[in-house]
Amino acid sequence: MKRRKFIQNTTALAVGAYALSSFEFQDDEKIIKPKGLIKGDLIGITAPAGSIWNKAHITKIQGILENLGFKTTVGKTCYEQDGFLAGSDKMRAEELMGMFQNKSIRGILTMRGGWGCARILDMLDYQSIAANPKVIMGFSDITSLINAIYTKTGLVTYHGPCGYSSWGDFSTDEVMKTLALGLPRTLKNPNNNLEDLRTWSSGKAQGRLVGGNLTVIASMVGTSYEPDWNNKLLFLEEIKEEPYRVDRMLWQMKQSGVFNKINGVIIGSFRKCEPEEPEKSFSLEAIFEQHFAQAKFPVYQGASFGHIAPKFTLGVGLFSEMDADNFTIKTLEKSVVV
């Protein structure tokens, strides 16, 4: 199917499917959902973290979004550099707030991670964000931004591709099913990404999704932006961290009480996390075994999200069910307002 036709062809499907799948989970948490994206919507592209070293990626993502039927506007941060940052903290925060407050912009796509989102969290107007709910998506360092927004406002945000990411057919369809259709569905790895799937602790669990990059999530513990972990499904991914560092961060989360509150863990891609000196280290698998083999909640490894080409788009704050034995994530409510 051509990408431009995806929105058109799925609109009729959404109407029929919603009649069969209109379940909405209700709990005491105040949740805000943005409106689903439709053809012709204006997408703001911004860089709230690291500088965009290869400007060709800006033109590339504009082409991808326009091929899907969207219009785009590119923020000035995408062309700025301040050390390793895409402009000053003030500039990046003001641009992001401007995109939330601009009524003509229906969705916000972050250009890349790197480092820098935590530096602007104190500068954002969360009351204004809650009053202007819209799609915002990214991953890696964007983890702190999307979890902070959800924690402070109740707005469902999205852990999915950045502008720098690979937008293959699987990832693109996942974005559109989550942000345009928005219907409850079951997420399963594509057939070319099954080799890392492993159950560490059996069972099913339900809860609202929170998480993202392990380094970033661990750094949020103890801050005012730390998620409320109670009854959550925690999803984690990482890249280029040796097993001892992964172990250190998992212990930090464990000793801060996170693992006493959550209902389950979903482990995504932990790419390039092998030890430099294997003879002097535990393997990554050994670390996961030590932390999760005896867990009192379900845990599985190898889900398609993180620094990997075929990516799920996961709604932070979206009520879902994980199945650690069948390696699935089932969303139990609409991911956007449709």
Query: Which residues does the annotation mark as catalytic?
Result: 140, 237, 307
Residue 243 phi/psi, 5-degree rounding, is: -55, -35
Residue 148 phi/psi, 5-degree rounding, is: -65, -45
CA-closest candidate to residue 62, choices 98, 111, 115: 111
CA-closest candidate to residue 45, choices 125, 129, 152, 164: 164
CA-closest candidate to residue 212, choices 103, 299, 315: 315
Q: Where are the beta strands (DSSP E) in the chain?
A: 42-46, 71-74, 105-110, 135-138, 157-159, 186-188, 198-201, 204-213, 232-239, 264-271, 299-301, 314-316, 319-323, 328-331
Q: Residue 295 in contact with residue 259, Cβ under 8 Å?
A: yes
Give helix 169-176 / helix 3-20 axis angle, nearest 10°: 50
DSSP for 65-124, written as a single string? HHHTT-EEEE-GGGG--BTTBSS-HHHHHHHHHHHHH-TTEEEEEE---SS-HHHHGGG-
Q: Count other Cβ atoms within 10 Å, centred on residue 186.
A: 12
CA distances (Å), origin 152, targets 21, 47, 90, 126, 148 = 29, 21, 20, 6, 6
CA-closest candidate to residue 170, choices 311, 326, 264, 335: 311
Residue type, 171: S
Q: Where does residue 109 fall: left (phi above 0), alpha (psi -120 to 50 degrees), or beta otherwise?
A: beta
Question: Look-up: residue for tokens 């492993």?
Answer: 198
